[in-house]
Amino acid sequence: MGRKAHFKRDEFMDAALRLVAQGGPGALTVSALAGGMKAPIGSVYHRFPSRDVLLAELWIRAVEQFQRGFLEALACNGLLASLYTAEWVRKHPNEGCLLLLYRREELLSGY
Residue 17 falls inside a structural domain: yes
Predicted confidence (pLDDT) per residue in 58-108, tens digit: 999 999 999 999 999 999 888 888 899 999 999 999 999 999 998 877 777
Residue 111 falls inside a structural domain: no
CATH number at residue 75: 1.10.357.10
CA distances from 41 to 12, 20, 82, 109 (A): 11, 18, 42, 19
Residue 13 falls inside a structural domain: yes
Smallest CA-to-CA distance from 70 within 56, 55, 57, 89 is with: 89
Q: How many domains does the chain have?
A: 1
Quote the domain boundaries for residue 74. Answer: 9-106
Cβ neighbors of 10 (< 8 A, separation 6 or more) are none
pTM, two decimals, is: 0.86
Predicted confidence (pLDDT) per residue in 30-54, tens digit: 999 999 999 999 999 999 999 999 9
